[in-house]
């Protein structure tokens, strides 16, 4: 591949909100690319008997233009009739379920019960929504995230939504991950990629449950050895997160939350690391980890921000790769 050549095969590894924004930026910036988005399913859970996949839905709703831009979850123009009735009957009200969102969970649950794998369901939904990117659940197998806290083990959504991340975190586990298999298309996408980007998602509960699926991390490492760049974008800016509990988790695990801490988490995996300009002093220490640091504006409030960041990330990787191969 030569400098300036257009990237055609891109892989993004994504959790929820930050991952969805980055994926959206990549779609905007490289509309002709073959973009595969490998999405965390560790926070999937069953509620009212329905299978709910928060990260998959956030990514899909964002790409389809259906997302609620205010909340970061759920759909725009939502109604709440079913949720209100269930709550009035004594049902749990800690996880908000909009009526349109419910329609997705209903049909997903129906198909899963009929034996369709999640990757197939997601493919069909993306087709119905006009999403051209390949949205791939990391695995079709359940790998539910449990959070070990000072108050005991909690299923992820109980910790994240019901308890609002209040209990102090000690560790995470992704139950059954040792037996999970990458979903169809995941390893192929990695092997074909000219660039791979770990989105600014939570390293602990959004990216680790993807990397921990047997075969995924090793495929990433192998593929990087062929010359493919593997970048991560820091979800931590100025010691905080735009959204979500990553910074709180780092602190509770005894690691000062910083872009450097995220880079160190990915040491041995990523070749490039994008950190925000407010954290520029951490570029040096990141370089000492053997990771190329890139300082830029990583906040993605507007669609233009998403596109610009995606362009910059892919642009850097392309130039760098061309230079390395030259």
Q: Of 89-97, 175-183, 218-226, 317-325, which part binds a copy of itself (CB under 8 A)?
A: 89-97
Q: Of 74-82, 202-210, 289-297, 308-316, which part binds a copy of itself (CB under 8 A)?
A: 74-82
Minimum CB separation of residue 54 from a copy of itself in Å reads 17
Q: Of 85-93, 162-170, 177-185, 268-276, which part binds a copy of itself (CB under 8 A)?
A: 85-93
| Beta-carbon count within 10 A of 120 CB | 16
How far is Cα of residue 109 from the mean position of the Cα atoms in its chain? 22
Residues between 103 and 162 that touch a copy of itself (CB under 8 A):
103-104, 106-107, 109-110, 113, 124-125, 128
Query: Which residue do the tokens 């389809």 mark?
Result: 64
The Cα–Cα gap between 206 and 252 comes to 17
Q: Which of 13, 12, 10, 14 is nearest to 33 (CA)?
A: 10
Minimum CB separation of residue 157 from a copy of itself in Å reads 14
Residue 36 sits at φ, ψ, to 5 deg, of -110, 130
- How many amino acids of this chain bind a copy of itself (CB under 8 A)? 33
Binder among 4, 90, 130, 254 for a copy of itself (CB under 8 A): 90
Say whether residue 167 binds a copy of itself (CB under 8 A).
no
Long-range contact set of residues 238-243: C-beta below 8 Å, sequence gap at least 24: 238/276, 238/278, 238/279, 241/202, 242/17, 242/18, 242/200, 242/299, 242/300, 243/17, 243/18, 243/72
Say whether residue 85 binds a copy of itself (CB under 8 A).
yes
Binder among 3, 65, 69, 81 for a copy of itself (CB under 8 A): 81
Say whether residue 83 binds a copy of itself (CB under 8 A).
yes
DSSP 3-state assignment of 143? Answer: coil
Give the footprint of a copy of itself on this chain (CB under 8 A): 47-51, 79, 81-92, 97-100, 102-104, 106-107, 109-110, 113, 124-125, 128
């Amino acid at each position: 591949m030569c400098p300036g050549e257009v990237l055609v095969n891109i892989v993004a590894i994504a959790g929820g909100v930050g991952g969805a924004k980055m994926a959206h930026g990549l779609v905007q910036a490289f509309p002709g690319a073959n973009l595969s988005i490998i999405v965390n399913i560790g926070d999937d859970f069953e509620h009212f008997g329905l299978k709910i996949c928060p990260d998959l839905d956030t990514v899909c709703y964002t790409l389809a233009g259906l997302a609620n831009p205010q909340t970061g979850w759920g759909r725009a123009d939502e109604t709440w009739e079913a949720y209100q009735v269930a709550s009035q009957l004594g049902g749990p009200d800690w996880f908000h379920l909009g009526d349109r969102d419910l329609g997705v969970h209903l049909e997903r649950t129906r198909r899963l019960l009929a034996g369709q794998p999640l990757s197939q369901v997601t493919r069909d939904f993306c087709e119905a929504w006009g999403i051209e990117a390949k949205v791939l659940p990391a695995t079709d197998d359940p790998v539910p995230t449990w959070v070990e806290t000072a108050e005991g083990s909690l299923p992820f959504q109980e910790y994240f939504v019901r308890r609002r991340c209040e209990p102090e975190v000690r560790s995470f586990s992704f139950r059954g991950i040792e037996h999970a298999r990458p979903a169809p298309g995941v390893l192929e996408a990695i092997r074909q990629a000219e660039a791979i980007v770990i989105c600014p998602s939570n390293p602990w509960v959004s990216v680790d449950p993807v990397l921990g699926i047997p075969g995924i991390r090793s495929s990433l490492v192998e593929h990087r050895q062929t010359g493919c760049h593997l970048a991560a974008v820091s979800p931590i800016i100025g010691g905080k997160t735009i959204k979500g509990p990553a910074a709180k988790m780092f602190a509770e695990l005894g690691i000062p939350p910083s872009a450097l801490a995220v880079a160190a988490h990915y040491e041995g995996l990523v070749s490039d690391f994008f950190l925000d300009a407010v954290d520029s002093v951490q570029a040096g220490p990141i370089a000492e980890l053997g990771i190329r640091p890139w300082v830029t504006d990583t906040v993605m409030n507007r669609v233009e921000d998403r596109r610009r960041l995606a362009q910059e990330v892919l642009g850097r990787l392309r130039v760098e790769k061309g230079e390395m191969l030259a």
